[in-house]
Amino acid sequence: MAKILVAIANGFEEIEAVSIIDIARRADIEVVIAGVEDINLIGAHNIQIKADVKIEDVSTEKFDMIVLPGGLPNAFTLAENDIVQRLLKEFKEKNKKIGAICAAPYALHKADVLQGNYTCYPSFEKKIKNDGYQEEENVVTDNNVITSKGPATSIYFALEIIKTLKGEEIYKNIKDGLLA
């Protein structure tokens, strides 16, 4: 069974986090939510989520992919957290999948794992790099890195994760079931 790590800190974007978790679980992907600051976290719009583990208790060995939802200050916390940054680098070194949406590609940039082409929440490319920014694309896959724009694209981002980890048939079944 495929297994993903979803790392979140206070101020995470709830639509993105829950869409990733929900859609991955619909595809029988095991999801572990890792709290960066604590186990109990509060999203950007005051929705609480209880993480499964603290980020310091995570090992890359157990996961096929790490996924970072956006939201503020979550994205900045992920970009500045030494453990998250180490994990991102380890995922890249081990040729594992990495995903980030909204402002979270900034954390990928800080870890130097962002590939050539990417997308993000408009204006965050100025904090990342203009080179390779795909303004018109909602979801961009470049080698092992998947990025997406923001809350409204979160279902398509999660579906791309499904396609990457579970294949075309399961992707199509989940997509059709969601009416996407």
The residues annotated as belonging to the active site are 102
Burial 76-101 (b: 16+ CB within 10 A, else e): bbbbebebbbebbebbbeeebbbbbb
The residue among 91, 99, 22, 105 whose CA lies nearest residue 63 is 91
One-character DSSP codes across 39-76: SEEE-TTS-EEE-SEEGGG--GGG-SEEEE---TTHHH
How many C-alpha atoms does 77 have within 13 Å on its Cβ side? Answer: 22
Amino acid present at 103: A
Do the strands 40-42 and 48-50 form a parallel or antiparallel pair, or are they unpaired? antiparallel
